[in-house]
């Protein structure tokens, strides 16, 4: 793509404001290449980008172009029915999120499609639910999830409330490829417009009731149990507080993070995966002698937890650890109460810890593993639902702090998750067991697992080329060993092949192609390499396993260090 030509197009367009033109003229050449060298693309979780002028930025033109494309896609798929079925749109607290929501509604209306919007921000899982509740033909969520304040994003959902899977999104990408530049795009307006309808409280009410039904032990004594909660300024605030209060928990909100501030002024990070996000929550926990602290990210699909440990300190669990512990709690209780279905299934991803799979197997739960992206989990639920037969969903999760307990939502649901994590912590407290002790007991039963996520950023157009060069090299020349550990299997998800140390090969069945490599070592440790679908970086997922905890962290760090030396990155 000729970035200089794109720059001229924008500078010469009467649609582009003088303020944006001034921003463009102030950009240096590298910034211009990054802003105009390609179009903002759909990745693992939709389209996510820095806000500002440019074809590779999120603004009224690029988002409008994407939404025009989605409207054409829905009309092609559903015909005239799309107009009456309508599309549900929601958003988080970010800069321009409400404006982008209204822009999307206007575009749908111009082509004759009804648009459903909320009166204010709502979390991603409720958007997924609302698509299903309204029997809409699709959904749009305006969010950049846990990214910093400079970002926003655009996610599209199908009629089942699931993000579009690769086969489903391919026609949309073809439509977008045939469309003109964002500033030259025109809305194909028709005479008979659609209308924009504000959703009623029944959507909130029914969603909340279904979340409450996720509880396994709703009658636990909650009177002596304090929970700190932070929405990270985001969309879960009102709904999560309502759920907690209605089921009887003593909730203490982190007030500084309870305004819907688009600048995230009350937090050092809106990402529950990162320690700085927890600083204020842990201050609250210590000040109030709380038992637990829970947190949702800005769009409410991810969550995290910190707990009062047996040592009297506050500790955090990773997504892999909390997920495995919750699996054990849920499945043990289902077995005890006789509510485990005859053919249960759990879903996870190729970069999720093997600990959860081991726990599931213990309870006789089948596991299906998918590529990174919760849309594959939601899509599998819809697949069996449409088929009318198959295993019964009992849990789905991924390492990046996302899980789903009940599939009335077809995306990860941070509100369901924090409710069940809170119940789990309360259950163990009633037995006199802190969560660190509960997790240690789990590892004694199933083996010790240490998981770590490392990454390297590749900024700008040159960075994207370097990422591709690195991944191409790894696919062409797989590693034979790392940090003294022999590779016994290389899982190449781009070429759909598992190659074993003896040279034998096995085809990977049932998964779409993806630029991911996973190395399995002789001691069952793993190292996965995957370019991020939402940020300019490559992620390294490391898991070390053994019959004792000592040395596992050091082994993971050594694998990461040796890999970087081998491929020549810092």
Q: How confident is the model at residue 461, as a pLDDT?
A: 67
Do 413 and 535 share a domain, yes or no?
no
Provide the edge-to-edge strand list for the sheet that holds 42-43.
42-43, 46-50, 151-157, 138-142, 87-91, 115-117, 196-198
Do 78 and 213 share a domain, yes or no?
no
Q: For residue 543, tell me if it sits in a domain.
A: yes
Q: How many CB atoms sit inside 10 A of residue 57's CB?
A: 22
The domain boundary, picked from 129, 164, 194, lies at 194
The whole-chain average pLDDT of the chain stands at 95
pLDDT 10s digits, 206-232:
999 999 999 999 999 999 999 999 999
- In whole angstroms, give the CA distance from residue 43 to residue 463: 17
Domain total in the chain: 3
Query: Above 90 in pLDDT, residue 460?
Result: no
Q: For residue 200, tell me if it sits in a domain.
A: no
Do 73 and 92 share a domain, yes or no?
yes
Q: How confident is the model at residue 63, as a pLDDT?
A: 97
Q: For residue 346, tell me if it sits in a domain.
A: yes
CB 352, CB 542: distance < 8 Å: no
Query: CATH no. for residue 461?
Result: 3.30.310
Do 486 and 438 share a domain, yes or no?
no
Helix or strand or coil: residue 13? Answer: coil
Mean pLDDT, range 473-494, rounded to an integer: 95
Do 315 and 440 share a domain, yes or no?
yes
Residues near 141 by beta carbon (within 8 Å), at least 6 away in sequence: 46, 89, 90, 91, 92, 124, 127, 154, 155, 157, 299
Closest CA to 427 of 336, 345, 342: 336
The domain boundary, picked from 423, 446, 469, lies at 446
Do 222 and 235 share a domain, yes or no?
yes
- In whole angstroms, give the CA distance from residue 441 to residue 437: 6
CB 428, CB 435: distance < 8 Å: yes
Query: Above 90 in pLDDT, residue 389?
Result: yes
Do 461 and 421 share a domain, yes or no?
no
Q: Range of 177's domain?
A: 3-194
Do 308 and 160 share a domain, yes or no?
no
- In whole angstroms, give the CA distance from residue 300 to residue 146: 9
Which member of 145, 230, 236, 322 is catalytic?
145
Backbone angles phi, psi at 346, to 5 degrees: -120, 145
Q: For residue 199, tell me if it sits in a domain.
A: no
Model confidence at 116, in pLDDT bands (50, 70, 90)? very high
Do 475 and 442 share a domain, yes or no?
no
Do 326 and 458 share a domain, yes or no?
no
The domain boundary, picked from 446, 481, 506, lies at 446
Q: For residue 475, tell me if it sits in a domain.
A: yes
Q: For residue 432, tell me if it sits in a domain.
A: yes
Find the helix packing angle between 414-430 and 237-247, rounded to 10°.
Answer: 30
Do 276 and 381 share a domain, yes or no?
yes
Q: How many helices (H) and strands (E) does the chain have?
A: 18, 24
User: Chain centroid to CA 520: how far?
Assistant: 25
Q: For residue 202, tell me if it sits in a domain.
A: no
| 4-24 per-residue burial string, b: 16 or more CB within 10 A, e: under 16 | eebbebbeebeebeeebeebb
**Is 145 one of the catalytic residues?**
yes
Distances (CA, A) of 471 to 467, 475, 512, 514: 6, 6, 17, 11
Query: CATH no. for residue 128?
Result: 3.40.120.10
Burial class from Cβ neighbours inside 10 Å (0-12, 13-18, 19+) for residue 178 reads: exposed
Q: How confident is the model at residue 45, as a pLDDT?
A: 64
Do 442 and 453 share a domain, yes or no?
no
User: Dihedral of the CA atoms 169, 273, 566, 556 (nearest 10)?
Assistant: -130
Q: For residue 201, tell me if it sits in a domain.
A: no
pLDDT 10s digits, 173-201:
999 999 999 999 999 999 999 999 999 99
Q: How confident is the model at residue 562, as a pLDDT?
A: 96
């Amino acid at each position: 793509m000729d970035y200089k030509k794109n720059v001229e197009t924008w500078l010469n367009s009467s649609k582009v404001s003088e303020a944006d033109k001034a921003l463009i003229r102030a950009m240096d050449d590298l910034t211009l290449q990054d802003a105009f060298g390609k179009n903002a693309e759909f990745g693992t979780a939709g389209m996510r980008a820095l806000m500002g002028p440019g074809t590779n930025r999120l603004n009224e033109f690029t988002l409008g172009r994407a939404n025009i494309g989605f409207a054409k896609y829905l009309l092609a798929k559903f015909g005239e029915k799309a107009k009456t079925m309508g599309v549900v749109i929601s958003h988080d607290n970010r800069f321009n999120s409400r404006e982008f929501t209204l822009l999307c509604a206007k575009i749908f209306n111009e082509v004759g499609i009804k648009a459903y919007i909320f009166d204010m921000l709502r979390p991603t899982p409720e958007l997924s639910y609302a698509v299903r509740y309204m029997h809409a033909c699709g959904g749009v969520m305006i969010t950049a999830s846990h990214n910093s304040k400079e970002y926003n994003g655009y996610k599209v959902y199908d009629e089942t409330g699931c993000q579009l899977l690769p086969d489903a999104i391919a026609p949309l990408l073809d439509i977008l490829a045939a469309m003109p530049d964002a500033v030259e795009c025109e809305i194909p307006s028709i005479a008979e417009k659609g209308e924009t309808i504000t959703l009623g409280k029944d959507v909130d009410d029914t969603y909340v009731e279904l979340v409450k039904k996720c509880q396994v032990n709703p009658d636990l004594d909650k009177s002596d149990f304090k929970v700190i909660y932070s929405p990270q300024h985001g969309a879960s605030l009102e709904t999560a507080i309502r759920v907690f209060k209605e089921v009887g928990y003593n909730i203490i909100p982190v007030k500084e993070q309870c305004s819907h501030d688009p600048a995230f002024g009350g937090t050092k990070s809106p990402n529950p995966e990162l320690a700085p996000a927890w600083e204020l929550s842990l201050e609250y926990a210590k000040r109030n002698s709380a038992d637990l602290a829970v947190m949702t990210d800005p769009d409410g699909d991810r969550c995290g937890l910190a707990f009062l440990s047996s040592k009297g300190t506050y500790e955090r669990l990773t997504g892999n650890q909390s997920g495995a512990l919750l699996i054990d709690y849920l499945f043990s209780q289902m077995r005890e109460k006789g509510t485990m279905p005859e053919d249960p299934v759990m879903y996870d991803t190729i970069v999720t810890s093997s600990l959860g799979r081991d726990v599931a197997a213990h309870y006789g739960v089948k596991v299906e593993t998918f590529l990174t992206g919760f849309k594959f989990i939601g899509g599998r639920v819809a697949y069996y639902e449409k088929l009318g037969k198959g295993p019964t969903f009992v849990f789905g999760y991924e390492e990046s702090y996302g899980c789903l307990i009940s599939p009335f939502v077809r995306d990860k649901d941070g509100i369901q998750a924090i409710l069940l994590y809170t119940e789990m912590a309360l259950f163990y407290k009633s037995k006199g067991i802190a969560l660190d002790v509960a997790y240690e007991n789990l590892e004694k039963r199933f083996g010790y697992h240490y998981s770590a996520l490392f990454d390297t950023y590749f900024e700008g157009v040159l960075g994207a080329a370097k990422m591709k060069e690195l991944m191409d090299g790894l696919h062409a020349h797989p590693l034979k060993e790392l940090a003294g550990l022999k590779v016994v299997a290389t899982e190449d998800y781009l070429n759909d092949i598992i190659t074993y140390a003896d040279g034998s090969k096995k085809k990977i069945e049932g998964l779409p192609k993806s630029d991911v490599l996973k190395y399995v070592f002789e001691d069952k440790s793993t190292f996965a390499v995957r370019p991020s679908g939402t940020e300019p970086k490559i992620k390294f997922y490391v898991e070390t396993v053994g019959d004792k905890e000592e040395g596992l962290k050091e082994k993971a760090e050594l694998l990461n260090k040796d890999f970087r030396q081998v491929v020549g990155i810092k």
